A and B are shown apart, each in its own frame.
Chain A
């Protein structure tokens, strides 16, 4: 009963508020430029404009094993993997890189660590935590690096002369 009595004036107040807001937005002066938004992906292109995408570099597809940059580096994929299906039904990578497929496909079988669970128990099939290959292994493109890199291989680091930061002789 009390709520019903209150409802009518409340409705009136709400209507008046809405009307005031509408008038206020209309009264705002036009032509003020919006502050430019700088986005890491879009650059300074405004949100209402379409930014031009960077070109796609072709994947290196030479099938030659690449040197690992450090001992525990997941090897990079030396071939293209376009359209490879890796889901609960099928794993296109394991089609060739499984232990049993390696001979026929002349591929490098995935290491034993991929068959181990987190407690180091060796399983019959690839461990679920290692199932999605591209989490660690990626193909490479001959693209211009986005950022600089001063990485030095540990072997070079050991051979460097004292006092020389990562000397390559």
Chain B
């Protein structure tokens, strides 16, 4: 069966768009860490600086031992982190302050690595 040439760009665009739509079926967190029991509220942050598995592990490590934070899921490709926390113990502003605090580097300087761009 003979087909018109313009079918090819249509097929390419449909395949790529279909792939884009399908992405939610495969969404897996880059890291998923349970830090303790409790919780109840969730906070979703868009985090500048959360780029890969390495930065996600480092990011999660910032909250180890933090009272009130019971779990963190990170999604590096979407620059997103979801916190499960106890609002009686820690506030969203405190959670934000922890990630935005300057971090000491090996050369002796302190730099801010992560920035919370938005929360919901």
Partners in one complex: no
Interface set of B (CB-CB < 8 Å, partner A): none
